[in-house]
Structure 1
Amino acid sequence: MKIAVVGLGAVGSQVYWNLSRIAGIEVHGFESAYVGHPFAGAGGESRLYRNLEADDLGYLPIIHRSQELWKELETKSGRQLRKLKGVLYVGKADSTQVSNSLLSATELDTPHEVLSTRDIADRFPQFKPRTDEVGLWDIEAGVISPELTITAAVGLGVANGGQLHEYARVDHLESRGNGVRLHTAGSISDFDRIVVACGGWTTQLVPDLRDFVVTKRLTSAWYPGTRDNALQGLPPFMRAAPRYCYGIPTADGKTVKLGLGFNDHHSTGNPNSVERSLSGEAARTEIERFHPIVTDFLPVLQPNPVRLNTYIESYTRTMHEYLRLHPDDPNIAILTGFSGHGFKISPAIGEAGAQLITKGRSHLNLDFLSRAAPLFDIEDIETGTTTHNPLTSTERA
C-alpha cells in the first residue's frame, strides 16, 4: 500500500515514522520547506512537556501511550528530545483545571507537589502569584526540543525505507475512487491513501472544514531579566485561564520565551498572506498583549522583548483534536487542530493516525474528541475571526 503524509511537523512526522514501521507500507512524506523548519507551527527551540491534564481527562490514555513512545523515540534515535526538570502549573485553587490536573496525577500516578501561594513565591521568587492561586509542581515534566524531535522522527522513517519530498508544497488533493491524486507545483503523484497533517494549512486542502477549523498566527516573545541572574532558577511554567500564559526559559538562562492563548492570537483566513515578520505598529500591538504578564506576574522581566517570532497553528471549535477519515473519501485521513496539546501527545497521535489510515480506527479510544462541545463560533471564514474562547481567556489588568 502506498501512502502519502502531507506535512511533516509535530504530528505528521510521527505519522510518517509509525507508517514506516508497518510491513507492506510504502510511505512518502511531503514537506513544503525542509524537515524541522520554523515556518509553520514548530520552531522556537522549545515546547512544554507536561504529564498533568487540565482540560479533559479523556486524554489520559493518550498521555500514557505518549510517555511510552517518547522513550522509544529517544532510544531509537539516540537523541535527548526532552529535558525533564519539572514544570510549574499555576491556577486558581478552586478551578476545574486545577482539579483535573490533580485527578490526572492520581490516575497516571504522576509525581507532583502542591504548592501554596507562599510556596510559589518562596521557591520561585520571580513569580508574583495572586492570593487565590496555587501551584502544581509536575516533577517529571519538562521541555521538548521541537525541531530536533521532528528531524529525529523523520530520520527514523527514512531509515526504515520511507521516501522524503522536501520543498514540495501540496496544492490540491484529487479523489479518484480507488485512490488519491496529489498535486504539487511540479508534479502529480497517485497514492492509495493520504494523511493530511499540515496544521494551519489544513483548510487550504480540505475547504469543507473551514466552518470548524480556524487558523491563527501566534507570537512568541523572548524577555530578558531586569538584572543579571534575575532568571536563575526560573522553571518552565503554565498559568491557567482566566490568566492563561506560559513560559520557557532559554538554555543560557538569559531570557524566557512567553506565549499567550487563543484569544490573543491573530486570526487569519489565509496563512500564506498573513504578516509574519513583525515591526512598527504590528510589533507594538503584539507586545502590548504581553504587558499584563510582565507587570503583574513576572515583574523581574524587562518591559520589552528582545525577540519576536510568529507561528501558524490550527484549532477546532471544540479545542479538541480532529482525527477522522474524510467524510466523502475514506482514503483520506485528516489530522488537525493540535494547538494546545500538540507536541506532548504527538507520538501517540502519530501512532493513532497511522492506524486510522491503515485500519480505519485507532487502538486508542478517541471518541471523546468528537463528542466535545464547541467553545466558540467562527464568525467569518474569510478572515478567521471568532467569538471569545473561554478556555484560554486572558484577564486584562
Structure 2
Amino acid sequence: MSSFEVAVIGLGAMGSAALFHLARRGVKAIGIEQFTPGHDRGSSHGESRAIRLGYFEHPSYVPLVRSAYENWREVEQLTGETVLTTTGIVEAGRPGSQLVAGSLEACLLHGLEHELLSPAEVRRRFPAIELPDDYSAMFQPQGGFVRADLANSLHLRLARQAGATILTNTKVAAVEPQREGVRIATGDGTIEAGRVVVSAGPWITELVPDLMRYITLNRMVLTWYEPKRPELFGLDRLPVFAIEDEDDLVYGFPDFAGTGLKCASHYSSGRLPRADAARQDAGPTDEARTRRFLERHLPEGAGRLKAMKTCIYTMTPDEDFVIDLLPSDPRIVVASPCSGHGFKFASVIGEILADLSTGGATRHDISRFRVSRFDGSGAGGSGQPALGARGEGG
C-alpha cells in the first residue's frame, strides 16, 4: 500500500495542472489516470481550445481567466513551448445575441480591450467571415487558443520533473474516506492519501455519487474541413470565431496545424447515459450541421470534410463549474464538471485545486462554483473573494 499527501484522480486538463502545482510545492502527490494521457474518451483531448478575456457566460469569470493567461505563459517559460496563441476572437450574432451582449458587458465592466464591428467591417478585415447586415459583432484582440494536448502533456512533464508519481491505465474503483485519510481502491491495489482531488470529468459521478443528480453528459461533435480558399483560413487571416445565428452557436479556429478549418456547435447532439457509452461515431447528420453553418457564414471554408471527432460536455444545470471541497467530506476536492467551457481555465484551476487540497482555501474567488448552490443552502464552499470583487465574484 502506497501513501501520499494528495492523490489526483483523472489526468485530463484539470488533473494534470493540479498535479503540477502540487509537485512544484514539494507535496508528495500521485496522479492516477484510467487510460493513457491524451486519450479521446473524455473532454480534454484535441489540438485546440478557445481562450478569451471578455466572457459572455458571466463577468465574474474574468479575474480567473486573467490568471489563466498568466499561468499559461509561465508554462511556456518553463518549457520553451508555445501553448497559447493569440489570434483575436470575433464574436457575432443576430440582433439581441447574448453572445455579443454578454461579452460586451464583461469587457466594459473589467476595462478589457475590444472593438464593436459592423458586418461590413468584419468582411473587410476577415474576408472568410460572412455576416448578415443586421448582425452585431465584437472583436477581442487578446483572444486566441490553447494547444490542448500539448498543454496537458507539459503539465504532466513538469509534474514528473518536480517529483510527482504518475500511474496510467489504472482505473479507480472507489474513493473511501477513512479515519486517518482517504483510501483509493484500484484494480492493482489500494493507495492512501491525506486528501484527494477528483478531476475525473464525465466519470466523476462514479466516484462522487453525491453529484449524480446535478450532472448530465452531452455528446459533442468536432469537424475539420479543407477550405476552398486556404489562404483565407491561416493564422494571419482568420481569428478564432464564435457566431450565434438563428438556431445554433458555432465556434471555430483557423487552420494552424495543417489539419483544416475546425468548427463545432456549442449545443448538444444528444445525451449520454454514462461516460463509457461515448463512441467515436460522428456521421452524416453531424457533418450536415456544421456544413450548413459554414455555407451561411464561412462559405469558402465549406470544402471537403477532413475529419470528425466526438467529445463530452459534462454539464451542470446552470452551466457553471463545480470546484469545491465536498460538503460530506472536506478531504475530498471535486473539480468537475466544467460545462463545456473550462479548458482555458485549467492552468489556474490546477493552482486552485492545489490550494484546496493542501490548505482548504484559495485566494481565487470560486464562490460561484460551490456544490451547495444546487440544494439552495448557499453554505460552505472554499473560495475567498478576490480583491475588488462584487456580487458573485467580480
For the superposition of Structure 1 and Structure 2, which TM-score range results when normalised by the shorter chain? 0.7 to 0.9
Indicate which of 75, 78, 84 corresponds to 1:76.
78
Code of the aligned partner of 1:305: L
Distance (whole Å) between structure 1 residues aligned to residue 295 and residue 226 of structure 2: 14
Contact 2:295 2:302 in 1 (8 A): no
Give CA deviations for 1:165-207 in whole Å, capped at 9, x if unaligned. 1111212211213211112222211111110001111112122
Q: How far apart are the structure 1 equivalents of 2:33 and 2:209? A: 20
Q: The residue matched to 1:238 in structure 2 has which SS?
A: strand
Distance change in 2, residues 1:182/1:370 (3 Å):
closer
The Cα shift of 1:254 comes to: 6.5
Indicate the residue corresponding to 1:290 in structure 2: 290
**In the TM superposition, what is the alpha-carbon distance from 1:150 to its structure 2 partner?**
0.6
Matched, 1:323 2:323: yes
Map of 2:176 onto structure 1 = 174
Q: Is the 8 A contact 1:4 1:29 kept in 2?
A: yes
Q: Distance in 2 between matches of 1:371 and 1:272?
A: 24
2:140 aligned partner: 138
Q: What is the deviation of 1:48?
A: 0.9
- The alpha carbon displacement at 1:266 in A equals 2.5
Query: Does the CA contact (< 8 Å) of 2:313 and 2:340 recur in 1?
Result: no
Please give the per-residue CA displacement for 1:79-120, whole angstroms capped at 9, x wherever unaligned: 110111222121345444423322333454433322111111
Question: For 1:314 and 1:284, how far apart are their aligned partners in 2?
Answer: 24
Partner of 2:11: 8
The within-5 A match list for 1:319-358 is 319-358=319-358
Q: Which secondary structure does the structure 1 equivalent of 2:305 belong to?
A: coil
Q: Deviations over 1:199-223 (max 9, x none)?
A: 1111121222121111222110111
Q: Select which of 13, 27, 30 maps to 1:28.
A: 30
Q: Quote the Cα distance in structure 1 between the aligned partners of 2:371 and 2:324.
A: 13
Partner of 1:381: none
5+ unaligned residues in a row in structure 2: which ranges? 375-394
Instruction: Give the Å deviation of 1:59.
Output: 0.8
Question: Equivalent residues in 2 for 1:220-259 (5 A)?
Answer: 220-227=222-229, 229=231, 231-232=233-234, 233-240=237-244, 243-252=248-257, 255-259=260-264
Please say if residues 272 and 278 of structure 2, whose CA atoms lie closer than 8 Å, have aligned partners that are also in contact: yes
Cα distance in 2 for partners of 1:121, 1:8 equals 41
Q: Alignment partner of 1:37: what SS?
A: coil
The residue identity in structure 1 corresponding to 2:157 is G
For residues 239 and 230 of structure 2, the distance between their equivalents in structure 1, rounded to whole angstroms, comes to: 17
- Give me the whole-angstrom Cα distance separating, in 1, the residues matched to 2:291 and 2:210: 38
Q: Tell me by how many angstroms 1:273 deviates.
A: 2.5
Question: For residues 1-397 of structure 1, what are the structure 2 equivalents within 5 Å?
Answer: 2-23=5-26, 25-92=27-94, 94-227=96-229, 229=231, 231-232=233-234, 233-240=237-244, 243-252=248-257, 255-262=260-267, 264-278=268-282, 283-302=283-302, 305-370=305-370
Amino acid of the residue matched to residue 324 of structure 2?
A: R
Deviation at 1:356, TM superposition (A): 1.5
CA distance 1:265–1:157, change in 2 (3 Å): same
| Counterpart contact for 1:121–1:128, Cα < 8 Å | yes
Root-mean-square deviation (CA, aligned residues, Å) is 2.3
Deviation per CA, 1:98-144: give whole Å up to 9, x if none: 23322333454433322111111222222221233222222122121
Which residue pairs with 1:391 in the alignment?
Answer: none
State the aligned residue count.
368
Deviation at 1:231, TM superposition (A): 3.1
Distance 2:284 2:216 in 1: 24
CA contact 1:42–1:147 (8 Å) conserved in 2: yes
What secondary structure, in the 3-state scheme, does the structure 2 residue paired with 1:306 have? Answer: strand
Q: Contact conserved, 2:327 with 2:371, CA < 8 A, in 1?
A: no
Whether the 8 Å CA contact 2:91–2:99 is kept in 1: the answer is no
Instruction: Name stretches of at least 5 consecutive residues in structure 1 with no aligned partner.
Output: 375-397
Whether the aligned pair in 2 keeps the contact of 1:225 and 1:254 (CA below 8 Å) is: no
Which residue type is aligned with residue 249 of structure 2? Answer: Y
Query: For 2:303 and 2:209, how far apart are their aligned partners in 1?
Result: 41
- SS across alignment from 1:272: helix
* Equivalent residue, structure 2, for 1:387: none
Q: Are the aligned partners of 1:200 and 1:216 in contact in 2 as well (CA < 8 Å)?
A: no
Q: Percent identity over the alignment?
A: 27
Residues 271-329 of structure 1, C-alpha deviations (whole Å, 9 max, x = no match):
21333244xxxx12222332431232222233662211112331111100001122222
Secondary structure (helix, strand or coil) at the match of 1:193 reads strand
Q: Which amino acid aligns with 1:258?
A: C
